[in-house]
Chain A
Amino acid sequence: MSFVSRGFRRRQEPDAPSDRVPPGQYVTHDFPVLSAGPTPRIGLDEWRFEIIGQVDKPRGWSWQEFTSLSAEDVTVDIHCVTKWSKLDSRWHGVPVDALLDGAKTSADHVMAHSYGGYTTNLPLEDLTGGRAWIAYEYDGEPLEPEHGGPARLLVPHLYFWKSAKWVRALELRDTDTPGFWEGYGYHNYGDPWREQRYSGD
């Protein structure tokens, strides 16, 4: 029987799973900042977003061009692998569907690349069908650098490490390669509803 600390209990109990809260998560009203590295500081005049890789015509946008694209407000629940969930978070951004519109590709996979070097991999299918955005506003304000600004990938149906902060490119690929956390034992897909936190879950 291992040692038990008298009177100690966890501060944050997981909330009962519901149709809003995946298993093992607790709801927070904060917006914790977690990062694998320093916050990149990207000037808007140097910022670019690109679709590259296995695509007939790679495409890219400057900040001016990007923010002139038709964008939408979305309110979504987000779920972090470190167990916090934030409900009804409000974002504004360009649907990835629109960015891929007209692009010819045989690729099934995507690697998202961020300023600062972070990467994460996803199936192309999970970025389409109205399930992903490149978001540049949060809660009605420009997205702050510590939360991924100028712009981040937003894919709320997967654990939030897939919503790459400081996104700079989506690379379309024929083969799947693990991104940063996936390469260190985190789940390749990351569905919070099946609690796919780690590889093998």
Chain B
Amino acid sequence: MTSDSHVDGNALGGVLMEVFGREMTGARGRCASCGSVGPIGAMLVYRSAGDVMRCPTCGNVVVVVATIHERTRVHLAGMTWPETNQ
């Protein structure tokens, strides 16, 4: 098994939906680092102390989800949202 163990943006679907009040994995996000745009569900998610979502093109961090004292915070570290899909 590869040690580069990551999952897809789908894995954060619940958290993102809770925070934004709508389905987000089908929405497209723009990486603030390289500018590439793609579905959030297709981004790479690394799970460790928190969840780190990275751009599948350049690898930079786009979103960090950290649960601190039972409060979950979604940090839009390097993503902008050009559109949603409804």
Is there a direct interface between A and B, measured as CB atoms under 8 Å apart in the complex? Answer: yes
Q: Which A residues lie at the B interface, using CB under 8 A?
A: 33-39, 81-82, 144-146, 161, 181, 184-186, 198-200
At the interface with chain A, which of B7-15, B17-25, B63-71? Answer: B63-71
Task: Give the size category of B's interface with A.
Answer: 10 to 19
Starting from the known contacts A181-B66, A184-B75, 13 additional A-B residue pairs (CB-CB under 8 Å) come to: A34-B47, A34-B49, A35-B5, A37-B52, A37-B54, A38-B4, A38-B54, A39-B4, A144-B3, A145-B3, A185-B73, A198-B68, A200-B69
What residues of B have a CB within 8 angstroms of the CB of A181 in the complex?
Answer: 49-50, 66
Question: What is the CA–CA distance of A199 and B47 in the complex, to the nearest angstrom?
Answer: 20
CB-CB nearest in chain B for A198: B68
Question: What is the CA–CA distance of A185 and B3 in the complex, to the nearest angstrom?
Answer: 26
- Chain B nearest Cβ from A84, distance in angstroms: 12
Could you name 17 residue pairs across A and B whose Cβ atoms are closer than 8 Å? A33-B5, A34-B49, A35-B46, A35-B48, A36-B48, A37-B59, A38-B4, A38-B6, A38-B46, A38-B59, A81-B49, A144-B3, A145-B3, A161-B49, A181-B49, A186-B68, A198-B69
Q: Which B residues lie at the A interface, using CB under 8 A?
A: 3-6, 46-50, 52, 54, 59, 61, 64, 66, 68-69, 73, 75
CB-CB nearest in chain A for B60: A117
The answer to whether residues A184 and B66 also contact, given A38-B4, A39-B4 and a CB cut-off of 8 A, is yes
